[in-house]
Chain A
């Protein structure tokens, strides 16, 4: 019954938080603004009689995904973006013109004569489409194959994420900052363990170390062969 005030409130909140997300220079503030967008979208879903999607939106998006994003932001601890001078300044009027055309187009379609009669306002007639039971029934009957394919997708994403974020056995490339020239020790089967703080300098030291060892082994072999002879 109060859906117009609710729509205005949460729609404005979603758009405002989205603008704040793009405008913020600190990524953590952007993440918090994005959480605001997700929560206000969940409220809009409630007014659209989709309680299950609203709950999933809050739990999965605002909960799981944003925790992951905030975790990575905290882990990497990157500095804020610095604003840079605008290049291609002559394109700014073109952009303004194109945006005006887009807005005018949208307004024309919305205010088209007869648009209001074709699209009726949503009533408050209760329906069971948005309920968990009907969505579950659809998922396990009509959309069973996409559901199963999705489980394969999640498995692939799991394996891929672990593979990507795992520590690799190759010396990493240039990372500015700490220099550790101590060569890394070898594992029992000759594998290289990367320690925290290893840099390109470590890799070079390791390469020199390997080269010296190879030369030493070669000369030892040579002297051994000469001794046999």
Chain B
């Protein structure tokens, strides 16, 4: 049924009009990146800072996927590179989550807090 709709005149007419282009996805990615940076700078709970970093990585992932789609449209043979890179970013984010949360637990055990303004041992 979906195929029928796509073959119909209305479907052909909507082709090219109803699809977002690359720049709109880049705007979403930029917004998510900015919000993530704001979260890193504004929040004091180290777990929330950590989640903001994950948000930044996801903004980069969205850009990679959008560019990969763009390369598919232009017929570039290397379009799969963006998706492979996204897989690597997800793997690195998982490793980072394990290490980061291990650090948070060690920090809480030693200092009794997760608020970064209380963790000022190296502050002169």
Contact = CB atoms under 8 A, between A and B. Distances in A.
A38 to B, nearest CB: 7
Interface string B1-38: 01001100001001111111111110110111011101
A154 B99 CA distance: 10
A160 B99 contact: yes
Nearest to B36: A18
A79 to B, nearest CB: 9
Interface in A42-96: 44-45, 48-50, 52-53, 56-57, 60-61, 64-65, 68-69, 72-73, 75-76, 78, 81
Given A53-B86, A122-B22, A165 B94 contact: no
B42 interface: yes
Contacts of A7: 20, 24-25
B119 interface: no
Main secondary structure of the interface of A (DSSP, over half): helix
Interface residues of B, number: 79
A101 interface: no
Contact of B43 (A22, A64, A72): A22
A119 B22 contact: yes
A22 B39 contact: yes
A72 B51 contact: no
Given A34-B54, A61-B54, A53 B108 contact: no
A184 B34 CA distance: 49
Contacts of A130: 68, 83
Contacts of A57: 61, 90
A81 B45 contact: yes
B44 A1 contact: no
Contacts of A53: 61, 65, 83, 86-87
A69 to B, nearest CB: 6
B91 A153 contact: yes
Interface stretch (A168-176, A185-193, A204-212, A213-221): A168-176
A157 B98 contact: yes
Given A119-B23, A129-B83, A78 B114 contact: yes
Contacts of B81: 138
Contacts of B102: 160-165
Nearest to A61: B90
Given A72-B105, A121-B20, A164-B103, A50 B47 contact: no
B32 A48 contact: no
Nearest to B103: A164
Contacts of A110: 23, 27
Interface of B: 2, 5-6, 11, 14-25, 27-28, 30-32, 34-36, 38-39, 42-45, 47-48, 50-52, 54-55, 58, 61-62, 65-66, 68-70, 72-73, 79-81, 83-84, 86-88, 90-99, 101-106, 108-115
Interface of A: 1-4, 7, 11, 14-15, 18-19, 21-22, 27, 30-31, 34, 37-38, 41, 44-45, 48-50, 52-53, 56-57, 60-61, 64-65, 68-69, 72-73, 75-76, 78, 81, 102, 106, 110, 115-116, 119-125, 127, 129-130, 134-135, 138-139, 143, 146, 150, 153-154, 156-158, 160-165, 172-177
